[in-house]
């Protein structure tokens, strides 16, 4: 099949205003540590409703910096989900602490608050993840954390624009972060931002991202051990430009979500993602279906292969973190420990999903999925 006939899994939404914003910075002598950084931070704080925003070079770096700034280290435990991109738990290992996994809700696929309630005296933080942009039950996590004096580090990397009761994901906990990889709702190419209402924490994060330099900006004066996690002005300019269209992006993705749910209606072999609950708004990151419970992994994998053969970009989302070889070896984890996560992960299929996806393409994906399901029924 010709590459031009393929429908990719994701794609950024770049327009002329974005290009002009980037080239305007390229015409200046200051490509990093310039005025576009605080401009982007102010715009993001205003958009999210947080008091402070700190731009960094990835969502992963944001998680790492916050865990480091909170003083997490060896002997400390962080309760989190095994159904996420590996960066969420990696960020705990980066500071020498131990991720303690709890199983997920079988319907919403986020960290089950009842499982997360099994904390210990060593639990110093909860790290919930707004999976695929769907909001977590933040009030319940905050109750658990308050009882034991733990922090809540909110991985909202996939959920910029998601709200609960009008309050943005990422603003409930001690700190939250958004990520801007090209497959996200908006992009800076690579990059992320931490949001928080704690001014002292924000100041510390700004120092830590910039080699431990102090607020006076003296280039060779380092007040603490820091990192090079800066986001350059070029990318901040792109982020500021993209953010101006954020609500349009969310509306486009909601439309694609609704088109998929409409054109996949009646397919009894799959479970489509549910719409938002009352009082919530989902800023969709990806569109992930699941084959019905009890479907063997072999069939899911065969469906993925059939879709790719038909020119449809697709992927399993996610592979359980606790079954990654490194986590098995490092923490002694094994299959069967988190059965809901393992069951869901064995059945998921991410379909093409991005702002510009049209109804004709959605119909083509839906037809390809029907054909792939028909071609693999012998594996049930």
The alpha helices in the chain, defined as continuous H runs, are: 16-26, 36-48, 59-69, 87-94, 113-116, 138-148, 199-209, 233-243, 246-263, 297-309, 325-331, 339-345, 359-375
Cα end-to-end span (Å), the chain = 28
- Rounded distance, CA 220 to CA 269, Å? 61
Question: Do 9 and 183 form a contact (C-beta atoms < 8 A)?
Answer: yes
CB proximity list for 323: less than 8 A, separation 6 or greater: 333, 335, 342
Considering only the C-alpha atoms of the chain, give the largest distance between any 2 of them, rounded to a whole number of Å: 67
- CA 92 → CA 119, 202, 262, distances in Å? 16, 19, 40
**DSSP state letter for 164:** E
- Rounded distance, CA 239 to CA 241, Å? 5
DSSP one-letter string for 249-291: HHHHHHHHHHHHHHHTTT-TTEEPPP-PPTTEE---S-EEEEE
Query: At how many degrees (to 10) do helices 246-263 and 359-375 cross?
Result: 40
Active-site residue, from 124, 147, 167, 184: 184
153 forms bridges with which residues in the sheet? 175
Token pair listed for 99? 């991720």
**Residue 240's closest CA among 286, 193, 183?**
193
Q: Is 184 labeled as catalytic in the residue annotation?
A: yes
Residues serving a catalytic function are 184
């Amino acid at each position: 099949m010709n590459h031009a006939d393929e429908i990719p899994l994701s794609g950024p939404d770049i327009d002329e205003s974005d290009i002009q914003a980037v080239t305007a910075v390229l015409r200046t002598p200051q490509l990093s540590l310039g005025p576009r950084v605080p401009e982007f931070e102010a715009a993001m704080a205003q958009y999210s409703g947080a008091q402070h925003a700190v731009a960094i070079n990835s969502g992963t770096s944001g998680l790492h910096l916050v865990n480091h700034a909170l003083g997490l280290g060896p002997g400390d435990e962080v309760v989190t989900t095994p159904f996420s991109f590996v960066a969420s738990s990696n960020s705990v290992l980066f500071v020498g602490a131990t991720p303690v996994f709890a199983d997920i809700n079988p319907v919403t696929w986020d960290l089950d608050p009842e499982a997360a309630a099994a904390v210990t005296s060593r639990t110093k933080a909860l790290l919930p993840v707004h999976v695929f942009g769907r909001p977590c039950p933040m009030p319940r996590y905050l109750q658990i954390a308050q009882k034991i004096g733990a922090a809540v580090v909110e991985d909202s990397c996939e959920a910029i624009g998601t709200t609960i009761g009008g309050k943005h994901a990422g603003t409930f906990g001690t700190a939250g972060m958004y990520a801007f990889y090209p497959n996200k709702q908006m992009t800076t190419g690579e990059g992320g931002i931490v949001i928080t209402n704690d001014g002292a924490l924000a100041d510390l994060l700004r120092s830590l991202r910039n080699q431990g330099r102090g607020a006076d900006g003296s280039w060779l004066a380092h007040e603490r051990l820091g990192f090079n996690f800066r986001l350059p002005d070029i990318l901040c300019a792109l982020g500021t430009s993209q953010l101006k269209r954020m609500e349009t992006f969310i509306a486009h993705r909601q439309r694609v979500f609704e088109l998929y749910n409409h054109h996949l209606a009646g397919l009894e072999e799959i479970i489509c993602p549910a719409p938002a609950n009352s009082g919530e708004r989902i800023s969709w990151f990806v569109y992930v279906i699941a084959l019905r419970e009890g479907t063997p992994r072999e069939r899911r994998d065969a469906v993925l292969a059939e879709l790719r053969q038909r020119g449809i970009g697709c992927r399993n989302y996610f592979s359980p973190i606790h079954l990654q070889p490194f986590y098995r070896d490092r923490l002694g984890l094994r299959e069967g420990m988190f059965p809901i996560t393992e069951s869901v992960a064995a059945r998921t299929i991410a379909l093409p999903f991005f702002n510009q996806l049209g109804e004709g393409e959605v119909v083509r994906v839906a037809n390809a999925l029907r054909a792939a399901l028909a071609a693999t029924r012998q594996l049930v």
